[in-house]
Structure formats: C-alpha cells, structure tokens
Amino acid sequence: MRFGTIFDLEPKIARLEELQKEISAPDLWDDPERATKLTQEASRLEQLTTSWSTFLATVDDAVELAGLLDEGEDPSVRASLEDEARSIEGELAKRELDLLFSGPYSDNPALLTVHAGAGGTDSQDWASMLFRMFVRWGETHGMQPEIIDETEGEEAGIKSATVRMSGERAYGLLRSEKGVHRLVRLSPFDSAHRRHTSFALVEVMPEIEDEAPLDIDPDDVRVDLFRSSGAGGQHVNKTSSAVRLTHLPTGTVVTCQNERSQGQNREMAWRVLRSRLRMLQEEARAQTIADIKGDVVSAEWGNQIRSYVLHPYMLVKDHRTNVEVGNTQDVLEGNIDPFIEAFLRYSVGAETAGTTSMEAR
C-alpha cells in the first residue's frame, strides 16, 4: 500500500481534477467570489499533490538504494540509505500531522482571548504573560497577530485581551490552547515574596464569515396567490394580488398583501423570506459556535489543562498529554509547538506512551 492511499490522497487528486474543469469554464469569473474560492482551493491541492509526488519519488529512490545494499553490502550505500531513511521518517511525521486538520474551520483565522482568573493582581499579570506568549508564537509562525481588544488590570497585567491570528491553519493549531492555564511562582506583588498560584482562561474561536452565501432554490419554495382581505378598496378584493411563500425545507411561511400589485407583494415577500432564513442560518451558526466553544469552565484550581511552574522547580506540563518541557522561559517566549503537536495527536486518539520530557530548543 502506498502512503498516498493511507493519507487519503486519491480523493484529493480527484477533487483537483474537478476543480481544474470548473476553473477552465469560460464563465468562471462571472461570479468573482466563487471563482476566487475555487482557484484558491485548486492552488492548495496542487501544492499538496506536487509535494506528495516529490516525497514518493524520494521513497522510490530509497527502495532502489535498499536493493543495491542487498546486492553488495557497500558501506557507502548503507550510509546513504540510512540518511534517506531518516529524511523519510521526518517527512512522514510532518505529513502525519495533515490528518489532524480535517475540521471545517482548521484554516480559518483564530480569535484567541485570555481572561484573568482566580488570583487577583497575580492572575492579571499572569494573563498578560500568557497573552504575550501567544502573540510571540503568532509572530514566529507568520500568523500576523492583530490585537483587537485589551482591558488593563487595576495594578498590573490585563483583565482580558483578544488577538486575531490569520495564517495557515491558524485555528487548527490554536484550538489546542483552549482551557485554563495555571502558574505557580514567587509572587512579585507579595511583600513577603511567598509562592502564589494564578489562573487564566484561554478561549479560542474560529473566525466565521458573517455573510455566508444564502442560496434559496426556487423549487424549495411554494408560491400561493390569493385575494387580499385587508384595506385597499375594491382593487384589493377583486384581484389575487396577495402572495404567500412557503419554504418547504424549513416550513417558513411568509405572506404579503399590503402592496397594491402582485409584483410588489411578491418582491416584498421574497425579501422577508430571505431575512427569516438568514435569521435561521445565524441561529444555527450561533449553535455551531457554542458547540465549538464547549462547556464554560472557571479559571481556577482543578480545571487547568496546563501548569507552568517557576518555583520551586522549572517545568511546564500539559495535563492532557503529559508532555513536559523544562525550559520554561523558552515556552513563555512562544515556543509552545511541543504542546500543540502532542494535543493534535491526542485529540484524534493517538496514544501517549507515558510522560515525554524534552528540552525546548
């Protein structure tokens, strides 16, 4: 079995072929928005399939080298094969991550908000440190962080702040950071310099377009004409100028009979129907956002997903995956990739073999 099959490559190739046919249509740019989306998707798939072709060619070369090794046991060939195997192993690990970004919003910009939790001034300072950590991560990963809201604390730090991250797989990566983050340190705000525990809550949401396409299939709408019964004189009662629209999939019914002509009533009824269906769509979207956001948790003891210990020892530990990093300063400067990758694997059921310790580079 080829890797391309394991990684679901064939459907992507088929989709690319479909897109190329659609893009070649002479009327493609009659709808610029649709054309842009199609060309962007095709470009992304083309890059993916090209990179896979290169990778599979590398695998074929390695297989050929292995054949030579079997024949002559040449030490130089063995060394080349070992180098090639290490390269393939590393590349395969990267491509394995592609499987972890199948969610519908993985490529959307991310809206990340940090809220200070239990712990007073210390927690507000901790929220500021945590927010800076995410901004630094975004800067080093080309996520174009844009701070869109920030409320300062009374004495230090922040009460809350929101940053928008836009870049490749912004939400797909940052969704791993959602939850309560706990800090243990000697408090700089305690005159006795005692150890304090602080909490901050991180919320991560995908940015979803407000104006999602709203297409109403005319076949889904039943149109009924009848005589108006309201005010309007003899004309209202003698002609079938009133219009009733029934959207069959949702059961939404709109009636308009206030205008003098059937055409005016029809136009108004369609406007009202579109508005009502837009409201239904927004309600569904709100429910989707609520599902993504998950249960509301308090930023306090017992809910933490990760602990950052600066005293009496130095360690950052993710309680979901058991990944540990000893270089706490490096983590606070934005190197949270080990935690993100481990969570992505964990989230699709990958097993973690005990506690993995590493020094962040």
Encode 22-68 in three state secondary structure.
HHCCCCHHHCHHHHHHHHHHHHHHHHHHHHHHHHHHHHHHHHHHHHH
Q: What was the pLDDT predicted at 234? A: 44
Query: Is domain 3-100 annotated with CATH 3.10.560.10?
Result: no
- pTM across the whole model: 0.61
CATH topology of domain 110-207+293-358: Alpha-Beta Plaits (3.30.70)
Q: How far apart are CA 9 and CA 233, in angstroms?
A: 68
**What pLDDT was estimated at residue 66?**
74
Among candidate residues 270, 255, 267, 256, the one with its CA nearest the CA of residue 216: 270
In this prediction, residue 124 has a pLDDT band, given cuts at 50, 70 and 90, of: very high
All CATH 3.30.160.20 domain ranges in the chain, comma separated = 218-292
Q: What is the mean pLDDT of residues 291-319?
A: 80
Of 44, 315, 93, nearest in space to 183 by CA: 315
218-292, CATH topology level: Double Stranded RNA Binding Domain (3.30.160)
What is the average per-residue pLDDT within 147-163?
88
Q: Which part of the chain has CATH 3.30.70.1660?
A: 110-207+293-358
Decide which of 187 and 216 is more confident. 187
Q: How many CB atoms are located within 10 Å of the residue 334 CB? A: 17
Whether the per-residue pLDDT at 349 is higher than 80: the answer is no
Give the number of other Cβ atoms within 10 Å of residue 66's Cβ.
14
The pLDDT of 345-357, averaged and rounded, is 54
More confident site: 230 or 45: 45
Q: pLDDT-based confidence at 128, cuts 50/70/90?
A: very high
Beta-ladder partners of 309 = 184, 315
Name the band, by pLDDT with cuts 50, 70 and 90, for residue 351.
very low
Q: Give the Cα separation of 275 and 270 in Å (integer).
A: 9
Q: What was the pLDDT predicted at 85? A: 80
